[in-house]
Amino acid sequence: MKLPAIELELISKQFGGLLAVDAVSLMVANGERRVLIGPNGAGKTTLFHCISGTLQPSSGCVKLFGDDVTKLTENRRTELGMGRTFQISNVFTELSLLENVVLALMGTVSRKWTVHRSVGHYPELRSRALDGLDRVGLKARADDSVNDLSYGDRRQLEMALALNTNPKILLLDEPCAGLSPSERQGIAKMISTLPRDITLIMIEHDMDIALALADSVTVLHRGKIIVEGSPAEVQANSEVRDVYFGNI
């Protein structure tokens, strides 16, 4: 029997008097597509931060393929196979697309960036970076400045950054946020084609996209899990409707 890709045991995160995540336990199987939904302030992104290592939980345990990684840094978790995107665009706007991806790759190898050298001095990393940009349809713009990209193209670049670290687990925090309907469909199609050897955990507010991509859905409200189930089960659940319409 395979160990879960991610296992959370009673994860809580407190900021002063605010309990943002409240004793959340969660198990995500290898290759699963799990979507986290809930109203604003439900604790979804804070929970993501605890999984990725951006934040240390106040209590509880995070396991990656059965190993306790609760105390490990974000960089160490990346080395172990965890990749992520952020709710707000998180790229170096003054650099080119290619330079952004090469920098991300350098976080996974022993070589470090030398400021006065161009990416041409790192042929292997350059080749991998171009492959990553090709994967999201941006290879033709490799030498363009990120400043010249539309917001939708920046989100695609972030996908390239996350995927080029060869993650075993990919955390996507609202990958469709701020995109036009056609851009949302493009990102959703890209996500749907990811190989099943990548376990996916995603926060998404576009319910049509979230439910179409999910194997299973976890609903958070006020830092707690209130419902888990298939997309159909969650869609039909009266408690979920009450949460979204503000009745509880």
Select from 102, 141, 140, 144 the least CA-distant residue to 124: 102
Here the tokens at position 86 are 């952020």
Q: What is the CA radius of gyration of the chain?
A: 18
CA distances from 134 to 139, 163, 187 (A): 5, 12, 14
User: Of 36-50, 53-67, 123-137, which gets the smallest average pLDDT?
Assistant: 123-137
pLDDT grade for 28, boundaries at 50, 70 and 90: very high
The whole-number average pLDDT for the span 28-50 is: 94
User: Domains of the chain (ranges plus CATH)?
Assistant: 6-244 (3.40.50.300)
pLDDT score at 112: 52
The whole-number average pLDDT for the span 130-136 is: 87
The whole-number average pLDDT for the span 68-79 is: 91
The whole-number average pLDDT for the span 233-237 is: 91
The whole-number average pLDDT for the span 189-209 is: 90
Q: What is the pLDDT of residues 136-157, one digit of tens each?
A: 888 999 999 999 988 888 888 8
The whole-number average pLDDT for the span 126-145 is: 89
Here the tokens at position 187 are 């990102």
pLDDT score at 83: 86
> What share of the chain has pLDDT > 90, as a percent?
48
The whole-number average pLDDT for the span 89-114 is: 73
The whole-number average pLDDT for the span 179-207 is: 89
Q: What are phi and psi of 25, to 5 degrees?
A: -115, 135
pLDDT score at 117: 55
CA dist., res. 44 & res. 247, Å (int): 20
The whole-number average pLDDT for the span 22-38 is: 96
pLDDT score at 86: 65
Mean pLDDT (the chain) is: 87
CA dist., res. 61 & res. 19, Å (int): 17
Cα-based torsion angle of the residue sequence 136, 139, 140, 146 in order, rounded to the nearest 10 degrees: 80
The whole-number average pLDDT for the span 16-39 is: 95
